[in-house]
């Protein structure tokens, strides 16, 4: 399937959101850790287990955010790989076209010169023989490419 630019925009948007969540959850986790582990006058011993429980939840939230961040990184890498594969296919087609066109251009360039002694230039069907030879070359190259499984 061809990668869509909207997919990249969604992945990058989600990565930004995840990074915001990561920053805010990290700072909150540290503050809750201080509340759970320190001795403050306004925090009773009875409420400390609740702060530790909230701290444990914050650790789980941070881990979950990190997992989502990793998943988005993998999705981004997969998207970029698909884009690269698509570009490789385009380059392959362009290379094949150039490979077929180059010898034809050379032959037509040589026969386009105004020299007297060119093979086949004095023949009545010389032009058609050259065209036929060029068509045979094209089919031979296509056959060769298919045999090598390049096309």
Which CATH number covers residue 96? Answer: 1.20.58.340
Q: Tell me the C-alpha to C-alpha distance, in Å, between residue 78 and each of 2, 49, 67, 109, 133.
A: 12, 43, 16, 45, 46
Return d(Cα 140, Cα 71) in angstroms, integer. 48
Number of structural domains (the chain) is 1
- 76 close to 10: Cβ distance less than 8 angstroms: no
- Per-residue pLDDT tens digits of the chain, which is 151 residues long: 788 889 999 999 999 999 999 999 988 888 888 888 877 778 888 888 888 899 999 999 999 999 999 999 999 999 999 999 999 999 999 999 999 999 999 988 888 877 777 777 778 888 888 889 999 999 999 999 999 888 7
Q: What is the pTM (predicted TM-score) of this model?
A: 0.68
Return d(Cα 150, Cα 133) in angstroms, integer. 23
- Could you tell me the residue range of the domain that residue 105 belongs to? 5-147
Report H helices in the chain.
Answer: 5-37, 48-111, 126-147
Structure tokens at 116: 């007297």
Return d(Cα 76, Cα 84) in angstroms, integer. 12
């Amino acid at each position: 399937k061809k990668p869509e630019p909207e997919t990249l925009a969604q992945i990058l948007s989600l990565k930004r959101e995840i990074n915001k969540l990561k920053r805010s959850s990290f700072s909150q986790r540290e503050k809750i850790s201080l509340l759970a582990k320190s001795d403050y006058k306004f925090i009773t011993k009875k409420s400390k287990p609740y702060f530790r429980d909230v701290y444990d939840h914050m650790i789980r939230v941070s881990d979950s955010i990190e997992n989502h961040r990793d998943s988005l990184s993998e999705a981004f890498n997969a998207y970029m790989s698909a884009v690269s594969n698509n570009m490789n296919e385009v380059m392959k087609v362009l290379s094949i076209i150039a490979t077929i066109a180059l010898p034809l251009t050379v032959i037509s360039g040589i026969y386009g010169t105004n020299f007297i002694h060119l093979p086949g230039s004095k023949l009545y069907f010389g032009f058609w023989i050259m065209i036929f030879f060029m068509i045979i070359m094209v089919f031979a190259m296509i056959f060769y490419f298919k045999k090598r499984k390049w096309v």
